[in-house]
Amino acid sequence: MTTEKPAVQRVLLKLSGEALMGDDAYGINRETILRMANEVAEVSKLGVEVAVVIGGGNIFRGMAGGAAGMDRATADYMGMLATVMNSLALADTMNNIGLTARVMSAISIEQVVEPYVRPKALQYLEEGKVVVFAAGTGNPFFTTDTAAALRGAEIGAQLVLKATKVDGVYTADPKKDPSATRYDKLTFDEAIAKNLGIMDATAFALCRDQKLPIKVFSIFKPGALKRVVMGEDEGTLVYI
């Protein structure tokens, strides 16, 4: 039996919407969502309280809609609705594998999901339920990364975990510049000053002001989430 203890007690996990596609062209890949749910179950069983924010890029991205001539705010609301679909799918998958998950939405669609109410979210977390925050911040012109920073600060998470398509923060976008190298850790000021595109500046600034560190790691690497919550060397830490 292992006596290892998690390094954190409460976390906010940001899951990439785009990664949900798996190898499909769009939408939700069954195998990928199940794998994500299982990874969350693994850390939840360790006693870590997990809240999740999931993106919507696999279904709709406001920027793209805006670029195609659509009113940007309208396109962003469509993006937020996309995150609601992903949140429902994720919570459903979690419930199927024995977790108890609750979805809370930042925009009111009460027939579909309950509204975000902070004390209720805290109660669920204390009860060991996984809370999935849907509809981002509820405001256009923001991203789900910023929603993750905001909700992370609100629930008093010790760490924001950004599970994304790359295994950490690089000196430049590794998808565009193959010579880019990965940081083990860097400060918020460095990340903002160097305009590192892994997260938007609003999310970085919010976390910096709240002294809420962010760990960036790969969603495709099996066991990475557990390694992060156990405090093992994985991904990149962005700290104050």
Ligand X SMILES: Nc1ncnc2c1ncn2[C@@H]1O[C@H](COP(=O)(O)OP(=O)(O)O)[C@@H](O)[C@H]1O
Q: Which residues bind ligand X (CB under 6 A)?
A: 16-18, 55, 57, 145, 164-166, 169-170, 172-175, 196-198
Q: Is 16 in the site for ligand UDP (CB under 6 A)?
A: yes
Choose, by CB under 6 A, the member of 12, 37, 43, 62 that binds ligand UDP: 62
Residue 198 CA, chain-centre distance (Å), reads 13
Q: Which residues contact 187 (CB under 8 A, 6 or more apart)?
A: 238, 239, 240
- Note the helical H segments in 127-200: 144-154, 188-193
Tell me which residues in 178-237 interact with ligand UDP (CB under 6 A).
none
Of the ranges 5-13, 37-45, 72-80, 151-159, which one interacts with ligand UDP (CB under 6 A)?
72-80
The minimum distance between CB 64 and ligand UDP, in angstroms, equals: 8
**Is the CB of 87 or the CB of 93 nearer to ligand UDP?**
87
Distance from C-alpha of 35 to C-alpha of 12, rounded to nearest angstrom = 18
Least Cα distance to 174 among 229, 232, 216, 226 occurs for 216
DSSP-based three-state secondary structure for 41: helix
- Alpha-carbon distance of 17 to 5, in angstroms, equals 30
If the CB atoms of residues 71 and 184 are measured against ligand UDP, the closer one turns out to be: 71
What is the spatial distance between Cα 36 and Cα 150, in angstroms, rounded to a whole number?
Answer: 22
Annotated binding site for ATP: 14-17, 57, 61, 164, 170, 173
In the complex, the residues that contact ligand UDP under the rule CB under 6 A are: 16-18, 55-57, 61-63, 76, 79-80, 82-83, 136-137, 139-140, 142-145, 147
